[in-house]
């Protein structure tokens, strides 16, 4: 491995929570639009980086604030509404 590679493996599952809301509006038969917002918190974790048993630094992987905005334009070809 090269001098900037990481020798160790670490496998973790981040646990957390998500809350959000959204709105959908029908413009006319067969066409609507949706807008959603989600906020999540999955915590963070520090990883120690080593190069052949020598500590070279730490990496802080933080997922403590996740913001997701989703938008959709929906067309119903069958007009089943």
pLDDT digits (tens, 9 = 90+) for 29-80: 889 999 999 999 988 877 777 776 666 777 777 778 889 999 999 998 875 5
Dig out the tokens for 15 from the structure: 């646990």
Long-range contacts of 12-20 (CB under 8 A, 24+ apart): 12/45, 14/42, 14/43, 14/45, 14/63, 15/42, 15/43, 16/40, 16/41, 16/42, 16/43, 16/63, 17/41, 18/66, 20/68
Residue 9 has pLDDT above 90, yes or no: no
Query: What would the two tokens of residue 26 be?
Result: 């029908």
Render pLDDT for 10-36 as a digit per residue (tens, 0 to 9). Answer: 566 778 899 999 999 999 888 999 999
Assign 1 a pLDDT band (cuts: 50, 70, 90). Answer: very low
């Amino acid at each position: 491995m090269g001098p900037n590679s990481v020798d160790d493996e670490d496998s973790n599952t981040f646990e957390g929570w998500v809350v959000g809301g959204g709105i959908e509006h029908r413009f006319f038969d067969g066409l609507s639009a949706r807008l959603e917002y989600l906020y999540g918190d999955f915590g963070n974790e520090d990883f120690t980086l080593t190069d052949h048993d020598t500590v070279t630094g730490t990496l802080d992987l933080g997922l403590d604030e996740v913001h997701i905005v989703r938008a959709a334009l929906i067309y119903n070809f069958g007009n089943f509404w």
